[in-house]
């Protein structure tokens, strides 16, 4: 079974600064996928970034980058140059073959960006 | 717009009632997944359909059922509703069953009173 751990329930960050959201995972699968989603107060789930377990390069999407450390089983999300609109809940999730590729989610981290 | 359409967006109903939540996947996506997000349980996988067939089952109660129709839209039926069923219900779709390319709908917020 897969397990995702997000140890930071909430974080504050100053506008224009970078913030790192922690995510560790546990799986015995060799092939798996790691995701980050953003959920603003309006409720929708917005896909941010994806990292495959065999990808050698860390994934980047605009201001989002995923710091993938396979040996440590961590997949931290870095948001650079934070904006007020980044205030939201952020979820780390993973899929794996042994779990029929369904998403397993962490508990989430609430990010509040201060002006 | 993610391309995944969920209706209705909000639903308020009484205990003991039955409701149907509807999901139209993104064009070309064969897999549909249902998730429940509640305050105490977080995001939980309920059930997956792939091209009309049930593919995987998660923590779905017996009072809940789902199906995927030939046009690939899916419905989640919740019956004998209890207060604890109040939650945000998400539908997601992907091209295949491998999970990459998951796209979520905007969710249906169910309130049971």
Please tell me which of the candidates B35, B98, B103 has its beta carbon nearest to residue A101: B98
pLDDT digits (tens, 9 = 90+) for A54-86: 998 999 999 999 999 999 999 999 999 999 999
Q: Report chain B's terminal Cα–Cα distance, integer Å.
A: 30
Please tell me which of the candidates B56, B103, B104 has its beta carbon nearest to residue A102: B56
Chain B: residue nearest A51 by CA? B100
pLDDT digits (tens, 9 = 90+) for A12-41: 999 999 999 999 999 999 989 999 999 999
Alpha-carbon torsion (B48, B52, B55, B60), positive or negative: positive
Closest CA to A49 of A86, A113, A10, A93: A93
- B73 burial (CB, 10 Å; 0-12 / 13-18 / 19+) is middle
Question: What is the rounded CA–CA span in Å between residue B12 and residue B78?
Answer: 13
- In a mutagenesis test of the B interface, which of A5, A31, A97, A101 is the best target, namely the one with the most B β-carbons within 10 Å? A101
């Amino acid at each position: 079974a897969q397990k995702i751990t997000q140890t930071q329930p909430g974080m504050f960050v100053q506008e224009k600064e970078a913030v790192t959201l922690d995510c560790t995972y546990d799986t015995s699968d060799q092939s798996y996928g790691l995701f980050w989603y953003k959920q603003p107060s309006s409720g929708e789930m917005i896909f941010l970034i994806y990292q495959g377990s065999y990808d050698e390069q860390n994934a980047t999407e605009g201001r989002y980058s995923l710091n993938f450390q396979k040996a440590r089983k961590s997949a931290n999300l870095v948001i650079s140059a934070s904006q007020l609109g980044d205030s939201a809940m952020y979820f780390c999730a993973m899929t794996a073959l042994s779990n029929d590729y369904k998403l397993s989610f962490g508990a989430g981290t609430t990010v509040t960006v201060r002006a | 717009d993610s391309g995944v359409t969920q209706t209705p967006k909000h639903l308020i109903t009484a205990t003991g009632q039955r409701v149907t939540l509807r999901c139209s996947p993104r064009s070309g996506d064969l897999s549909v997944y249902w998730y429940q997000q509640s305050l105490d349980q977080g995001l939980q996988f309920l059930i997956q359909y792939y091209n009309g067939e049930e593919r995987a089952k998660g923590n779905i109660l017996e009072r809940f059922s789902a199906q995927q129709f030939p046009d690939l839209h899916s419905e989640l039926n919740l019956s004998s509703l209890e207060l604890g069923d109040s939650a945000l219900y998400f539908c997601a779709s992907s091209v295949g069953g491998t999970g990459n390319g998951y796209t979520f709908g905007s969710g249906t917020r169910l309130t049971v009173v």
